Amino acid sequence: MVGYKTYFCVFCIALLPILAVAQNNTNSPYTRYGFGQLSDQNFGNSKAMGGVAYALRDPYHVNAMNPASYSAVDSLTFIFDGGLTLQNSNFSNGETKINAKNSSFDYIAMQFRLHPKLGISAGLLPYSNVGYSLNKIDNTGNSDTYNTITYNGEGGFHQLYVGAGYKILKNLSVGANLSYFWGNVSRSFTVEFPTNTNASSVKKLDYYSVKDVKLDLGVQYTYKLADKKDLTLGVTFSPGNDLSNDAYVENTTGSVVTRKDTLLSMGLPNTFGIGLAYTYDKRLTVGLDYTLQKWGDVTYLDEQNALADRSKISLGLEYLPSNTSSNYLAHIKYRLGAYYSEPYYKIEGKRAAKEYGVTGGLGIPFSRNRSVLSISAQYVRVEGLKQNLLNENCLRFSVGLTFNERWFFKRKVD
């Protein structure tokens, strides 16, 4: 037990520099819009299953997507969970192609049982990421005179949560996460005139920071179809709310800087999730999820209808060859999944893109205990819905470490 505690401490220390730059882990130009690229907040097993999570009840994995799942945690177990992703992206608009590589912090969490019917979890999750740099040359019809236009953006938002899941009845659990929600975003627009020494460069910087709270609610109900066959329904709801923020606009012309502090109207949407999971003999799990985020009802930076509703449908499965065999390979979990999503980006008043992906991975157990190394690969494609809009092809490789320590049992000495 001490060895794994040590490994986990080392793992946390290794995460610190990544946490420091966690807001710069994307290069997508679509992050110019809204809160940037939204995170689905999936943990290691869920990532490989297409993002399926709402109905999953695994006593040896954290599932922050539905806090009702915390009540399933094993009574003797203290769980530590953390994950990272490496990403390679290609962007193309039919004329220009760009390649970018990034790494990102995904999550870090813990979970344990406080009471026979009550499970507790706490952790840090990303909510969104902003990161782009775009350049444009405008010669206005004159090849000898031109100006350069640059768009830059960086930042993101995070959730530090604590949650509880309570088993009301044998097959019915409810749960809630309360999160401290914070982060900041800066976006700049710069015009320079390299061929005109008499013209001064112009820059506009928009900055806002947010500090607020966020609530997520969940329910899970399991119905026994037959011996070794279970069907679980999971439902989640996150109420929308206005966000407290500080903001300013800074304009620079040459060396002259002017700044204006302001207060913006922005918020989070009502979010609904529903999922079904079929389990056979605790070896085969097949899940289906649907998510709807009502971003179209949210005011963003004082603008109404700036964003579109976001929806996502996911399908995934997990297969364990055997839970009794003495063969180590029979205890590796095999995971597959796929999803389709309509992101919330809007350009010129219309939905900008669609997104789909396929996933796969393994859950590799550590010998002699219940700790698991989850690895997954994800191929994601974002397609622009208009000609000349950007297409993205992204390959992600994720690693998650789940430490299951048997802390809550009495040792007997002969």
Per-residue b/e over 137-153, b at no fewer than 16 CB within 10 Å?
Answer: eeeeeeeeeebeeeebb
Q: Is residue 130 part of a domain?
A: yes
Q: Is residue 216 part of a domain?
A: yes
Q: What's the domain count of the chain?
A: 1
Q: Is residue 123 part of a domain?
A: yes
Q: Is residue 9 part of a domain?
A: yes
Question: What pLDDT, on the 0 to 100 scale, is given for residue 157?
Answer: 95
Q: Which two tokens stand for residue 51?
A: 């993002």
- Residue 72 sits in a domain whose CATH number is 2.40.160.60
- CB burial of residue 163 (10 Å; 0-12, 13-18, 19+): buried
Q: Is residue 411 part of a domain?
A: no
Q: Is residue 10 part of a domain?
A: yes
The residue whose two tokens read 């040590």 is 6
Q: Is residue 413 part of a domain?
A: no
Question: What pLDDT, on the 0 to 100 scale, is given for residue 12?
Answer: 53
34 backbone φψ class: left, alpha, beta (φ>0; ψ -120 to 50) = left
Question: What pLDDT, on the 0 to 100 scale, is given for residue 14?
Answer: 47
Q: Is residue 337 part of a domain?
A: yes
Helix runs in 250-406, H state only: none
Give the domain extent around 144: 2-406
* DSSP single-letter state for residue 69: G
Per-residue pLDDT tens listing for the chain (414 residues): 444 454 455 455 445 444 444 445 677 888 999 999 999 889 989 999 999 999 999 998 999 999 999 999 987 788 999 999 999 988 887 767 788 888 888 899 999 998 889 999 999 999 999 988 888 777 766 656 678 889 999 999 999 999 999 999 999 999 999 999 999 999 999 998 887 777 888 999 999 999 999 999 999 999 999 999 999 999 999 999 999 999 999 999 888 889 999 888 999 999 999 999 999 999 999 999 999 999 999 999 999 999 999 999 999 999 999 988 888 889 999 999 999 999 999 998 899 999 999 999 999 998 666 789 999 999 999 999 887 788 999 999 999 999 887 655 455 555
Whether 260 contacts 249, CB under 8 Å? yes
